[in-house]
């Protein structure tokens, strides 16, 4: 529940900093314009990634997660996966079109609110639905590939100038909120079969397990990307407020790279948290309660 609350607060903070202030909007405008650098070549990769996201993808991805849960005889878990995907995507649309607004400042042209990103929400929510429903041993790899696919989708929206970095980060936080909420409401039906173990468990996976390796990879990627993003943000902010170097052609490129790094950081940390939470709340049940489930 604390992770869910933190994710919700993060959405508000991202909007307040990068949408509700002139400085934040200008910083993201630089990142938006920086996407023109190398766009022709990058778009050949980004366009197919974005082309995957569609109504059919949402339906098929959600059905796949539900099917996995049903095959494993986890009826309530199938409902959780459906609620997660539906809730995350509905939340994104309500926030973007009804709740949040984009203030208009005299120094810039008018833009409609585009936070959070719908494409990123779709990619992340389907990935997390699968993370919830697959067996324990498969979860680390679903988390790793899901994080990679979500980050690729988010960065592709930057390449195509469909969204700004804050839009993508907010979308990831929306899915983190729903994923953490699902973990907080985990029922006995969603637990893994195994020997009884009532000892307190740490949030991290056992040393040497695939979960530990994946959490380490996501942690390193998230920390490194966050460092790059913060450096780029500081460099761009000094140009915007006039206290640092003057605007040059490199300013947009730095802001663009920082935005992409911010997307990677948010995605890696979010999927790492969800993997750790899911593995923890799904700790093995007693042998007597397996009932033939896998």
**Closest Cα to residue 126, out of 158, 87, 162?**
87
What residues have CB less than 8 Å from 197, skipping those under 6 apart?
Answer: 283, 284
pLDDT grade, residue 107 (50/70/90)?
low
| Candidate from 17-21, 46-50, 124-128, 274-278 with smallest mean pLDDT | 46-50
Of the chain, the percentage scoring pLDDT greater than 90 comes to 73
Which residue segment(s) compose the domain that 268 sits in?
2-289
List alpha helices for the chain, DSSP H.
2-18, 22-34, 39-52, 55-71, 75-94, 118-133, 139-159, 165-184, 210-240, 249-281
Does residue 33 sit within a domain? yes
Does residue 229 sit within a domain? yes
Give the chain's mean pLDDT: 89
The predicted pLDDT at position 38 comes to 77
The predicted pLDDT at position 80 comes to 94
Tokens 């986890």 belong to 74
Does residue 49 sit within a domain? yes
Does residue 294 sit within a domain? no
The predicted pLDDT at position 290 comes to 45
Can you list the pairs that 3-8 forms with residues at least 24 positions away whose Cβ atoms lie under 8 Å? 3/176, 3/180, 3/183, 3/273, 3/277, 4/176, 4/177, 4/180, 4/181, 4/184, 7/173, 7/174, 7/176, 7/177, 7/180, 7/270, 8/173, 8/177
The predicted pLDDT at position 41 comes to 86
pTM (2 decimals)? 0.91
| Candidate from 99-113, 151-165, 225-239 with smallest mean pLDDT | 99-113
162-183 confidence digits (pLDDT tens): 999 999 999 999 999 999 999 9
Question: How large is the average pLDDT for residues 122-127?
Answer: 97
The total number of structural domains in the chain stands at 1
The predicted pLDDT at position 205 comes to 47
Cα 140 to Cα 189: distance, rounded to the nearest angstrom: 20
The predicted pLDDT at position 289 comes to 46
Cα 209 to Cα 275: distance, rounded to the nearest angstrom: 13
């Amino acid at each position: 529940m604390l992770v869910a609350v933190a994710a919700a607060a993060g959405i508000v903070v991202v909007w307040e900093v990068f949408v509700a202030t002139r400085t934040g909007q200008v910083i993201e405008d630089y990142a938006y314009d920086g996407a023109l650098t190398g766009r022709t070549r990058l778009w050949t990769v980004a366009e197919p990634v974005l082309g995957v996201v569609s109504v059919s993808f949402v339906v098929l991805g959600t059905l796949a997660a539900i099917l996995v849960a049903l095959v494993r005889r986890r009826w309530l878990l199938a409902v959780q996966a459906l609620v997660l995907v539906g809730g995350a995507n509905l939340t994104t649309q309500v926030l973007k079109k009804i709740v949040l607004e984009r203030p208009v400042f005299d120094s810039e042209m008018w833009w409609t609110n585009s936070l959070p990103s719908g494409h990123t929400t779709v990619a992340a929510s389907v990935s997390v639905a699968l993370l919830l429903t697959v067996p324990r041993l498969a979860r680390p790899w679903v988390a790793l590939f899901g994080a990679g696919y979500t980050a690729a989708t988010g960065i592709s929206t930057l390449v195509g100038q469909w969204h700004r970095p804050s839009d993508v980060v907010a979308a990831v936080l929306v899915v983190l909120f729903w994923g953490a909420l699902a973990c907080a409401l985990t029922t006995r039906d969603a637990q893994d079969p195994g020997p009884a173990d009532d000892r307190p468990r740490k949030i991290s996976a056992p040393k040497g397990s695939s979960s530990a390796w994946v959490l380490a990879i996501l942690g390193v990627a998230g920390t490194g990307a966050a460092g790059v993003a913060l450096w780029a943000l500081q460099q761009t902010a000094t140009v915007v407020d006039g206290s640092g170097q003057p605007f040059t052609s490199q300013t947009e490129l730095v802001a663009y790279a920082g935005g992409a790094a911010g997307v990677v950081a948010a995605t890696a940390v979010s999927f790492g948290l969800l993997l750790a939470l899911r593995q923890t709340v799904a700790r093995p049940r007693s042998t007597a309660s397996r009932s033939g489930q896998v």
